[in-house]
Amino acid sequence: MGRLGSTIDWKYSLREGQDVNNRQLICQALDHIEDQLRSTLPVQALAETTGYSLYHFIRLFQAVTGMSPGEYIARRRITEAAHDIMRQKQRSLQDISLDYDFNNYETFSRAFRRILHTTPTQVRRNRMEGLLPLLHPLHEQDLHYFAVTKEISPQLAELGEVVIQGPIVTILRNSSIFSQAWHQLFNQVSSISGRMQPERYYQVGYWPDDYELSGAKFMCGCELVQPLSAPHDPNVRAGMESFFQPQSHNGIFPLQVIPPARYLKFYHRGLSKDISHTYKYFYEIWLPKSEFRLSLPFEFEYYGEQYLGPDNERSVSEIYIPLELL
């Protein structure tokens, strides 16, 4: 039995070591792509930088990142072009397309629509329908969590209305504000009347159409026993504009209603500070390849019995994303 256990441990260590080596090799290719994002970069030339044949490189890249090298390069270029369109209002769309090695604007526009399901003009006018399926640079830590997340299948869930109460913050780049909000909630949670016992904690995020520039809003809160009337029709997108307009309350924190919806439930296993990697896998890798699309511009996390604290690597939190079939 001991010899069998040693053999299994040795084989697992060997496989894990090989996975790490593969991720490091692909990370080198990813860095090279970022360096050449505005230049012509044939996949054959990219494969040569790794020392592998084209066939083996494409298979390895697909296995590690979840997409082909050509798809990754195209999505990264279109993502950066979309950022430039939103931020550089004075530059023409054609000039931006030339920056990313597109021979003409028509080719750029077709690729833009295929990848982001909208047009450069609509992005410039801030008329997008929901979150853009952007792809930001992948790093080694992303790839590590992608491998973990792929092993846990998402589940469909139908949930009714949930009412929570807690502090609200706006996040653009400084995610340390989260810890301040949670600290504020825990210090004053005893002042929240009508809360469930034992407490049930949530973190809800909402994105306005210009979230890339103005940031997203988040509430850290605990669930209340008594449901309230929803302040909007969850089936009408125009109503969602008032979704994160929390109701006034005589308590120390505002109230927020999470509307009834169909959700896809994902899991994050590991440190709370690393949950962004799991979200990145869902929004930027899994969702664009699925038959689903976002139905409402928000998400929430629930911290149940499997959540062992923010600094416990065995912690599991639940992520709920409202989705509908394409």
Q: Evaluate whether 317 touches 272 at the Cβ level (below 8 Å).
A: yes
Beta bridge partners of 325: 292
| CATH assignment of the domain containing 175 | 3.20.80.10
Where residue 170 falls among pLDDT bands split at 50, 70, 90?
A: confident
The sign of the CA dihedral 82, 86, 87, 93 is positive
Percent of the chain residues topping a pLDDT of 70: 83
pTM above 0.85, yes or no: no
| 104 within some domain | yes
Average pLDDT of 184-191? 93
Residue 90 within any structural domain of the chain: yes
pLDDT at 294 over 90: no
Q: Are 105 and 85 in contact (CB under 8 A)?
A: no
How far is Cα 133 from Cα 262, in angstroms, rounded to an integer?
A: 20
By residue range, what is the domain housing residue 228? 155-325
Taking only the tens place, the pLDDT of each residue in 255-280 is 888 888 999 999 999 999 999 999 99
Residue 48 domain-assigned? yes
pLDDT at 1: 39
Q: Tell me what the mean pLDDT of segment 193-211 comes to.
A: 87
Residues 42 and 118 in one domain: yes
CB atoms near residue 237 (< 10 Å)? 14
Element (H, E) at 114: helix 105-116
**Sign of torsion over alpha carbons 208, 174, 223, 278:** positive
Same-domain status, 46 and 187:
no
Residue at 110 is within a domain = yes
The confidence band for 236, taking pLDDT boundaries of 50, 70 and 90, is very low
Are 224 and 319 found together in one domain? yes
Q: How many domains does the chain have?
A: 2
pLDDT of 22 reads 87
Contact between 112 and 132 (Cβ < 8 Å)? no
